[in-house]
Amino acid sequence: MPYQDLEVHGAVAMHIPDLNIPRIVIIGGGFAGINLAQHLLNKGLQIVMLDRYNYHTFQPLLYQVATSGLEPDSIAGPLRKLFKDEENFFFRLALVQKINPTEKIIETSIGNLSYDYLVIANGAKTNYFGNNNIAKLVFPMKQLPQALDLRSHILQNFEKATLVKDYDEKQSLMDFVIVGGGPTGVELAGALGELKLHVLPTDYPELDFRQMDIHLVEGSGRLLNGMSEIAGKKAFDYLQRFSVNIWLDTRVNDYDGREITLSNGKKLTSRTVIWAAGVTGNLIDGLPTEAITRGNRIITNEYSQVIGFENIFAIGDIAFMKTEQYPNGHPQVAQVAIQQGKTLAKNLLGMIKKKNNPKPFKYKDLGSMATIGRNKAVVDLPSWKFQGLFAWFVWLFIHLIAIAGFRNKVVILLNWLWNYFTYDRATRLIIRPFFREKMDNMSDSYFK
């Protein structure tokens, strides 16, 4: 509760100076927020960015942190560092609690702040579809502390498995159930398959790894639903070679922390259920219900303006922009967030300078990809779909290019080379004498 003690001295406040230039408040330092901010710098505007973490997370590689492949520090960029030496840029570590559009004020854990333009870019969190039972017992993987926690949990379970004789008990500690056959689920299943093949057996010679099962449960009839059919099929093939058990057309009915009941009646036992089955917007109070739609997304027009407001915008995973091509909104992926951030930056500048007409957002699908363990990936480019070794190189290359910061690139490349040639995963530390906490449901108290 870092800020609570400050209140004793009555001192909590934002302390953002009033510069008499338009103030743009950006909620969230994800792909959408940082791309927006980067294109608004040095344009005579005051930019205030708020985030609950002091770093930007490169979410596509979270699964490698969870499976001991990368240090958390290599896939994160401290936000103050990303914008260091930038004039009129202000970062504050804060949780936004309420938007007050009438007074153009937001209420946060560290005080109120007025805005001229507000951009909601605080993304999405894990969706448990209202099942509180499940929410308490499964592992989400949307944030860095969650991935770190999962890493510790996995390793702790193998330590525990060395202590039990009972076959079923041992099995429940060594087995994994991943719910959701999208990129996160598929990549995680592949990474666990690698751990099973190359890393864990030498670490735990006392365990029999034929006993370790990896299950992947997907509600629809195929994997990688957002990608091409061939990508889904190939991913299925690759995962089967890792002996991952794939359950299509299957949902999770219940979980008690040990036994998981599937919709087809099958029961699996596992202490580790990883939930990658869907997301829901990080909604903030204060917007009218008409502005909210399915999945807690905020409805915007093609200029990312929240319907009903002139000066409130939403971009990235939390935004729902209906277009002819995307009648159900855009996919909730990094590329949409990045492009919406850039487009909105241009439109905002035009709007503030009362110059040109705003440009409606047009998503340019650059393609998507997923990797499945060593040497294998599936890549969908708009005009070319390919899979296998070359796809894997493309995956590596694109991710290395995309991650922010030269140092991170070098450290990640080094780790990947190391992991590749030694069949090792170096970062196998259990660093959680701290309990398991649900970051998704993290209360405000942390910020007070």
Per CB under 8 A, does 18 bind a second copy? no
Under a CB-based contact definition with an 8 Å cutoff, are residues 276 and 177 in contact? no
Q: How far apart are the first and last CA of the chain?
A: 5
Tell me how far CA of residue 169 lies from CA of 50, 157, 200, 338, in angstroms. 45, 11, 18, 45
Among 39, 43, 160, 222, binds a second copy (CB under 8 A): 160
Per CB under 8 A, does 439 bind a second copy? yes
Among 23, 92, 215, 297, binds a second copy (CB under 8 A): 92
- What part of residues 115-154 is at the interface with a second copy (CB under 8 A)? 144-145, 148
Window contacting a second copy (CB under 8 A); options: 322-330, 345-353, 365-373, 436-444:
436-444
Q: State which H helix or E strand residue 170 sits in.
A: helix 167-174
Among 107, 116, 203, 213, binds a second copy (CB under 8 A): 203
Window contacting a second copy (CB under 8 A); options: 70-78, 217-225, 308-316, 317-325:
70-78
Window contacting a second copy (CB under 8 A); options: 76-84, 125-133, 222-230, 357-365:
76-84
Token code pair at residue 82: 């990303």
- What part of residues 226-265 is at the interface with a second copy (CB under 8 A)? 257
Three-state DSSP at 71 gives coil
Burial pattern 170-202, b for ≥16 Cβ within 10 A else e, equals: bbbbbbbbbbbbbbbbbbbbbbbbbbbbbbbee
Q: At what angle do helices 406-422 and 389-402 cross, to 10 degrees?
A: 150
Per CB under 8 A, does 426 bind a second copy? yes
67: closest CA among 316, 242, 234?
242
Give the residue with the Cβ less far from a second copy, 14 or 394.
14
Q: How many residues bind a second copy (CB under 8 A)?
A: 72
Window contacting a second copy (CB under 8 A); options: 83-91, 128-136, 189-197, 213-221:
83-91
Give the residue with the Cβ less far from a second copy, 138 or 439.
439
Among 26, 61, 96, 110, binds a second copy (CB under 8 A): 110
Tell me how far CA of residue 99 lies from CA of 124, 312, 373, in angstroms. 17, 10, 43
- Torsional sign, CA 187, 192, 198, 203: positive
Radius of gyration for the chain, computed over Cα atoms and rounded to the nearest angstrom: 22
Give the residue with the Cβ less far from a second copy, 59 or 305.
59
Among 100, 112, 114, 204, binds a second copy (CB under 8 A): 204
Give the residue with the Cβ less far from a second copy, 92 or 297.
92
Give the contact letters, 328-367, x = binds to a second copy (CB under 8 A), - = no: ----------------------------------------
Give the residue with the Cβ less far from a second copy, 140 or 183.
140
Q: How many Å separate Cα 44 from the centre of its chain?
A: 32
**Residue 114: partners with Cβ closer than 8 Å, 6 or more residues away:** 23, 103, 104, 105
**Residue 363: partners with Cβ closer than 8 Å, 6 or more residues away:** 323, 325, 326, 330, 335, 336, 339
Per CB under 8 A, does 93 bind a second copy? yes
215: closest CA among 238, 237, 186?
186
Name the minimum Å distance from CB 257 to a second copy.
8
- What part of residues 376-415 is at the interface with a second copy (CB under 8 A)? 405, 407-408, 410-411, 414-415
Among 43, 53, 105, 342, binds a second copy (CB under 8 A): 53
Name the minimum Å distance from CB 326 to a second copy.
34
Give the residue with the Cβ less far from a second copy, 384 or 435.
435
Give the residue with the Cβ less far from a second copy, 172 or 368.
172
For the chain, the residue count is 448
Per CB under 8 A, does 81 bind a second copy? yes
Window contacting a second copy (CB under 8 A); options: 4-12, 224-232, 247-255, 311-319:
4-12
Name the minimum Å distance from CB 166 to a second copy.
5
Among 3, 128, 176, 392, binds a second copy (CB under 8 A): 3
127: closest CA among 11, 288, 330, 297?
297
* CA–CA separation, 76 and 411 (whole Å): 12
Give the residue with the Cβ less far from a second copy, 104 or 153.
153
Under a CB-based contact definition with an 8 Å cutoff, are residues 159 and 384 in contact? no
Token code pair at residue 404: 């922010």
Three-state DSSP at 98 gives strand
Window contacting a second copy (CB under 8 A); options: 22-30, 66-74, 310-318, 391-399:
66-74
Per CB under 8 A, does 166 bind a second copy? yes
Token code pair at residue 298: 């905020």
| DSSP conformation class of 209 | G
